[in-house]
Structure 1
Amino acid sequence: MIPFLAPANRLWLRLRLNEIGPLISLVGFGLFAWAFAAIADEVREGSTRAFDSALLLALRDPQNPADPLGPRWLEEAARDITGLGGRAVLTIVTVATVIYLLMAKKRGAALVVIGAVLGGTLLSTLLKLGFDRPRPDLVPHAAWVYSPSFPSGHATLSAVTYLTLGALLARVEESRSIKLFIMGLAVAVTLLVGITRVYLGVHWPSDVLAGWSVGAAWACLCWFVALQLQRSGQVENGRDA
């Protein structure tokens, strides 16, 4: 882990990190949940309308609001990237991960992934139905949509799925640089999916910000639960996580 530390010091550091982990996950949950509540309150009051409209229109040709800024290939690339947050792709990623974990005899980790993704999907659906916010009407949609707008389901489920899987993979690795790469990639994919939803005109920016917030909050809560189960021996720990 850290080569210049004596074995006893390495053990002490690992124990300290195991103690701090649950605290960090709870703090993350609190911060992201607060961010979602703040955004939701502004949306209810209609205070985000000016911000949402300005940013949405800024990504369109002023002479033709139906045309997103940039060359044609950029719009096609945005559709490809936004698909990474679609239910079909996330289902494939989740099922493949669960099968791998079960084959590797990591039943506890597999259950964590299933619980995180299914719970996040249910939470996203309930919030959409509860707020029932209409989709943007300022510009034509460049992708097909069929559900209410707030919060963005793509942003929410991308955060839940990719951040949860990234955290699990990062725990398997001992190299700090590889850990940072894995988590950085998970965050980058989550951000790109959300950005494309606004670029394609199918979500207000506040929808995406709220989706990122609630998705990250749920991922932090699931990680806290996973750490508690790990301590009790119900989820594989250390390199077996």
Structure 2
Amino acid sequence: MSKINYILRRIIEFFGSARLALGSLLFFGMLSAIVALFFFGWLSGEMLDGDTRRFDETVRAFVHGFAFPALTSLMQLASFLGSTLFLVIFGVVTVIALYLRKHRRGAILFTITTIGATVLLVTLKLAFRRTRPEPFFDTILPASYSFPSGHSLAAFCFYGALAEILSGRTDKLWQQILVWISAVMMILLIGISRIYLGVHHPSDVVAGYAVGLIWVITIAIGDKLVHAKDENVENIKV
């Protein structure tokens, strides 16, 4: 059972109508995406006006205050788990595995989500052209611009999509919760690692999460609308 269908079943119990429940789920999904979009627009304006400087410097100094060798190694590993090299290799393996397991819909959704996130990222970076901060360690700064953070955006989309697929492979609630907690922790750790290493402003990371949320919700809603007739929502049992 997919995570969305599980949530839908719970909502049906409350609303008493499958169609009303699905409509409510889609409504709140779109509302969340709209809120995230307005937040990103506001944050972008603040960044362009230089009003995020104090926030960025304060958070950077706070996070860097915890620095010690073992933690630095952990953060470098976390950063690698959100890198283009790792996500491309892991992504290809994931798509192949999904096809081999006859999960064609999941493979297509995963591909669209990750490729779309890449296009969004490149477009936004070129649009804002924000320079990167000075790194805290002997880290080679990427040649790309800073806003929004590619690692946080990609991690949100990649691990979020992966969690949806994996949680849909089990009917056990505790396993679904474990998958989602693991995904959230990974997403947050990757974002924090970029701040810790000093290769991103904190506002870059927050912006990446906002864009990732918008894109993931958009894909989820689109998929649900396209396959609504195939799933025959009225036949979902409570």
TM-score range, shorter chain: 0.7 to 0.9
Tell me which stretches of 4 or more aligned residues in structure 1 moved more than 3 Å.
12-21, 137-144
Instruction: Percent identity, please.
Output: 28
Q: How does 1:48-127 map to 2 (within 5 A)?
A: 48-60=52-64, 69-127=66-124
Unaligned runs of 5+ in 1: 3-8, 62-68
Distance 1:13 1:200, change over 3 A: farther
Equivalent position amino acid for 2:101 in 1: A
Shift of 1:104: 1.7
Task: State the distance in 1 between where 2:145 and 2:73 align.
Answer: 24
1:182 aligned residue = 179
Task: State the distance in 2 between where 1:138 and 1:191 align.
Answer: 19
How many residues are aligned here?
A: 224
Shift of 1:169: 2.3
Task: State the distance in 2 between where 1:195 and 1:13 align.
Answer: 42
Q: Does structure 2 conserve the Cα–Cα contact (< 8 Å) formed by 1:141 and 1:200?
A: no
Asked if 1:208 corresponds to 2:209, the answer is: no
Asked if 1:27 corresponds to 2:31, the answer is: yes
- TM-score, normalised to structure 2's length? 0.83
Shift of 1:60: 3.4
Asked if 1:162 corresponds to 2:159, the answer is: yes
Distance 1:193 1:143, change over 3 A: farther
Report Cα offsets for 1:177-222 as digits up to 9, x if no partner. 2222212211111111000000000000000000011111111111
Report Cα offsets for 1:152-185 as digits up to 9, x if no partner. 0000010011112212222332222222221221
* More displaced stretch, 136-145 vs 168-177: 136-145
1:66 aligned residue = none
Supply the RMSD in Å over aligned alpha carbons: 2.8
Q: Does structure 1 conserve the Cα–Cα contact (< 8 Å) formed by 2:136 and 2:197?
A: no
Task: State the distance in 1 between where 2:38 and 2:138 align.
Answer: 30
